[in-house]
Chain A
């Protein structure tokens, strides 16, 4: 809210240094956004708190200044009004409980003129264009008092007004020539079938004040905030009035605003009126009680404020103290403070005026609670570090899949599973939630390949989102993607995954051929302890694998240090040739299972159909003799021939 300092100064004395003023306002909750000079006037722009409906006006900020600096506020003069149940020419029927209060006055023999300078200049600061003296005055009084008001051409609207909910499809042409089609939730002022205004937001064109207007009906009202708010957002009517009515305004402002309006009308001779206000006010709002317990204030605030200071602060804020004891105060809240409902609100009032900067900074001196961090959070941290140490770069990507990559966004297990869809996506690229980490990692990978890549190895730890049987679920996954410029090799990728498993102290999974619901040129499952823990496959020349983190949670081996063996191994290379499509992983398993003295088997080279294996024979308790080794070797060759048709090359 813009606050011209000259105008504010008409209502309350200001400190000489404007920095002192803006710092103080910022500290109590109205942050200085910027200082501007508009038409030679200094204007401070404050970011107001959304729950301080009373501050969206000059009087509201003047009250704050008065409370902070202990200076007296000079309320502007206004006309005292007698409240009546009927006006001479106008009657009103309120057909809904959404209206809390309506005040109306008739002004006759109105002189419609150009606004005087002081008036149009003040409105110009807010970017409100000058229309004529009466319309401008409604805006002026709103800026000053915070109560939006509306003036109708009394002769055009005639008698028998009503405030009701609109019929679906009823139309209104606003004074800005905008036609709105209303819903049955929108609150309107109407006469028979004609809509006169959308309550709290915008007026109709024909019934507004024009140069020919002779008599005026002025209204100020208070509505159910939530309803106005829905209307304001439904029809995009964030007008000055709408901004205020969607907040919790004090119904008692209605009367003072009309009184203020009439005072200016009278002062400038813009019309004649009887100081009588039609008042629809079924449930009068009186000041309500909120109590303050000194101990509670001290406990919650963490600061000991003298009782005298507490009282002074509350009185300065217009609270009435009607009872006090050594333990606390009983207060009456001024009705414009619609934000102060409970004791904690009152405590904040005291603290903010006392000064948040005077609250001491304690580091939690209380007992330290036990660490309840769940294991899965530590797991993610551990796996992140393991992946990085195996040469993978981390990526964090969107939980959405871009349109271009939607063909990869499939649940690998469930065919025809549609991704979870956002009902109101801000863009097509934020419409679908991912069902696998593949599409985004693939996008990242291809991006790097196009940029400058020689080798890409990326990983992401994140959630995927699925729905089955009307239940939404989120699973934590780790995805790996790998590509090399020349001869992208699955063996290198698998080696990296092995390294990752080793580093994470998970047993190496089995790789089992499988068909996935994915556009992969081949795919396989990863199996650990007889459970499928993930899958992998190839897209073009890019390798991908994904592991479910909950499936491997708690499967980490405890690290046990090993000593170098005391007795040396016998190491030998054996070259074997196999028929086509022999699974070499199975061959190695077979060799290992021949004898427990076979400590390690490695594949060292592949040449055509010839595979050279390096075999370590080792007994922890002694040195093996050549004879013993020969016996084992013979058994290996027998097994390999029997199971795979493998033959030794000499």
Chain B
């Protein structure tokens, strides 16, 4: 019996050595290890040999079997060019339904992640607001010239309205939160506007503000530059200039170089070479006083960005109306 096993093994190894392809190897495997293979029949015959030898032979058969399996595998791997099935990789895949985030959501979360790294938290507030939070507390008393620039949508004139900027959330945070804090807000705002290519009755604002002892114009500049350079690229040029907003003093306007015309002047930048991106400044002392702070003891900055313009720029959307009217395809 022992000899038979050894012979069987040697025979198999010799055949494996001589095999020329995978199918020949498969034939060899069946011939030895298949249901009625040579080695398989020896295994079956093991019950016929004397008990005292059975264990020894069993071990031997097992070794032989493992060796054959191993050698077949080795030989298979040794074929340099293994024979393959014919295959058409150009056949189209079967479409699988996946979901997409909306462009505005993508931009908001990208922007938030940059500000989070600078220690900002995220907040929200009501869209149905009172005149008090939307205007009065923000140094925008009735008849203030800046009010006509943002004619509001009223629910109950003159007190209940749809917020015209996210500064209302700034007012609510100044009232509610304990400094120091740094907050960004992204949300829907509304104004009296007949829809055209660049204005909508609803739009998104992205607002940021910080209240902390020692915050200065230099911190504001650093924060804004860090954001714009991170989001739009280190090579972009930034213009940082004086502007007027009633909510801040001193006030800042920030422009980005127009990349469409490389600052030569085009329709996107209205020939200016610069695109107005944001308004900012140090929170107005009147506002700080409205919330019980002494401007000489604690300072803060605030900035506001029209978010839709960034979304349009990022996703090459030309007409603001298509942003929220179902025109955008998800593909």
Q: Do A and B come from one complex?
A: yes
Of residues 268 through 307 on chain A, the ones whose CB sits less than 8 Å from some CB of chain B are 293, 296, 299-303
| Chain B neighbourhood of A26, CB < 8 A | 239, 241
B68 within 8 A of A: no
Of residues 381 through 396 on chain A, the ones whose CB sits less than 8 Å from some CB of chain B are 381, 384-385, 387-396
- Given A29-B244, A33-B272, A396 and B128 contact (CB-CB distance below 8 Å): no
Q: How far is the CA of A501 from the CA of B113 in the complex (A)?
A: 26
In the complex, are the beta carbons of A303 and B217 less than 8 A apart?
yes
In the complex, are the beta carbons of B99 and A364 less than 8 A apart?
no
In the complex, are the beta carbons of B156 and A423 less than 8 A apart?
yes
Total count of chain B residues near the partner, CB < 8 A: 89
| Chain B neighbourhood of A425, CB < 8 A | 153
Cβ 8 A contact of B201, one of A366, A371, A426, A474: A426
Q: How far is the CA of A34 from the CA of B148 in the complex (A)?
A: 24
Residue of A nearest to B144 (CB): A226
A457 within 8 A of B: yes
In the complex, are the beta carbons of B119 and A369 less than 8 A apart?
yes
- Given A368-B119, A391-B99, A426 and B192 contact (CB-CB distance below 8 Å): yes
B89 to chain A, nearest CB (A): 25
- Given A372-B121, A394-B102, A455-B97, A420 and B155 contact (CB-CB distance below 8 Å): yes
Q: Which of B26-34, B46-54, B71-79, B175-183 contacts A (4 or more CB under 8 A)?
A: B175-183
Chosen A-B contacts, 25 in total, with CB atoms closer than 8 Å, are A28-B242, A29-B243, A33-B272, A34-B271, A49-B244, A50-B146, A226-B143, A299-B214, A301-B218, A302-B216, A302-B218, A351-B217, A356-B241, A356-B252, A361-B221, A361-B226, A372-B177, A422-B153, A422-B155, A424-B192, A426-B192, A427-B201, A455-B97, A457-B99, A474-B128
B305 within 8 A of A: no
CB 8 Å contact bits of A444-488 with B (1 = contact, 0 = none): 100100010001010100010100000010100000000000000
| Chain B neighbourhood of A344, CB < 8 A | 249-250, 282, 284-285, 295
| Chain A neighbourhood of B153, CB < 8 A | 422-426, 430
CB 8 Å contact bits of B32-52 with A (1 = contact, 0 = none): 000000000000000000000
Q: A348-B250, A363-B223, A420-B155 are known; give 5 further A-B pairs, CB within 8 A.
A: A50-B145, A357-B240, A361-B226, A363-B226, A366-B212
In the complex, are the beta carbons of B127 and A463 less than 8 A apart?
yes
Q: Which residues of B does A touch, CB under 8 Å? A: 97-102, 104-105, 109, 116, 118-119, 121-124, 126-128, 142-143, 145-146, 148-149, 153-157, 160, 162, 177, 179-183, 188, 190, 192-195, 201-202, 210, 212-223, 225-226, 239-244, 246, 249-253, 270-272, 282, 284-286, 295-296, 299, 323-326, 329-330
Q: How far is the CA of A443 from the CA of B324 in the complex (A)?
A: 12
Cβ 8 A contact of B98, one of A49, A381, A391, A395: A391
Q: How far is the CA of A356 from the CA of B99 in the complex (A)?
A: 45
The binding surface of chain A is classed by DSSP as mixed
In the complex, are the beta carbons of A361 and B145 less than 8 A apart?
no
In the complex, are the beta carbons of B218 and A359 less than 8 A apart?
yes
A168 within 8 A of B: no
Q: Which residues of A does B touch, CB under 8 Å? A: 26-29, 31-34, 49-52, 225-226, 229-230, 233, 246-247, 293, 296, 299-303, 342-345, 347-348, 351-352, 356-357, 359-369, 371-374, 376-377, 381, 384-385, 387-400, 420-427, 430, 440, 443-444, 447, 451, 455, 457, 459, 463, 465, 472, 474
